[in-house]
Amino acid sequence: MSQPQSRGPQLARFAALLADETRASFCLALLDGRAWTAGELARLAGVAPSTTSEHLSRLVEGGLLAEERQGRHRYVRLAGPQIAQLIEDLSGHAAPPPAPRTLGAASAGAAMARARTCYDHLAGRLGTAITDALLERGLLQGATGFSLTDAGLVWFRDLGVDLSSARRGRRPMARSCLDWTERRPHLAGVAGAALCRHALDAGWCVRIGSQRALRVSEDGQRALRDLLGVRVADLRDL
């Protein structure tokens, strides 16, 4: 049996982990980069705790989630940035969700489309606008996949972000990630994660509730305008 044929069953079993609406919903929620309890995920998906536990065990055993326990609480998170990339890429190729039926759902969807986290980097219109600005200013090049230019490395250093200490393992310094709402790429990788962390730590962006959506603060609006020419007000009605 050839190697591709021998791996077929393993690939089918791995794909089956996401071929369930509840498990897929769990993975999408965990794209906020944080650890969730089983109870939080159960309430999110509207399923019983026993059902949630069964689904989480399958996802952990399959390598999609990592588990940690603190006392009687069980926390799970995505197993790493590669898994987050897989989930986000698959989301980008999925059919658009149906139109929201309530005003609350429409508002939540608009907030997610405007600015959100994609695991550990910025996404939505804010993420793509920042990426476009980096490309336009020659801080990022995208001819053969994203990579930081020398000017880009200096820009991050001047911002106070040490990319050398942030880089771990084989994760690329810069990577293109398909944005599932904008249908075009935003910046991921070490640089994307470092920029998102800086934006949160500096108070440029604030999480909205427990979801992935972000609100850009007044300080953040000034910083993005002065540093990159991004005008957050222009992102609201696109």
Asked whether the predicted pLDDT for residue 1 surpasses 60, the reply is no
190 and 208 both lie in a single domain: yes
pLDDT of 233 reads: 87
pLDDT, mean of residues 187-208: 94
**How many structural domains comprise the chain?**
2
Tens digits of per-residue pLDDT, 85-142?
888 888 777 766 666 566 655 566 788 889 999 888 999 999 999 999 999 999 999 8
pLDDT of 141 reads: 93
171 and 74 both lie in a single domain: no
205 and 105 both lie in a single domain: yes
Q: Which of 21, 44, 79 is the last residue of a domain?
A: 79
32 and 116 both lie in a single domain: no
Give me the domain span that covers residue 118: 86-235
Mark residue 119 as left, alpha or beta (left: phi above 0; alpha: psi -120 to 50; beta: remaining): left
> d(Cα 193, Cα 199) in Å, to the nearest integer?
10
At 53, which CATH number?
A: 1.10.10.10
135 and 185 both lie in a single domain: yes
How many percent of the chain have pLDDT more than 70?
A: 88
22 and 104 both lie in a single domain: no
90 and 145 both lie in a single domain: yes
156 and 185 both lie in a single domain: yes
192 and 94 both lie in a single domain: yes
64 and 151 both lie in a single domain: no
Tens digits of per-residue pLDDT, 12-65?
899 899 999 999 999 988 988 888 999 999 998 899 988 999 999 999 999 999
Higher per-residue confidence, 100 vs 84: 84
Q: Which of 16, 46, 79 is the last residue of a domain?
A: 79
73 and 90 both lie in a single domain: no
Q: Which of 28, 44, 79 is the last residue of a domain?
A: 79
Q: Rg for the chain (alpha carbons), in Å?
A: 19
Residue 184, C-beta contacts closer than 8 angstroms, at least 6 positions apart: 128, 178
Higher per-residue confidence, 1 vs 176: 176
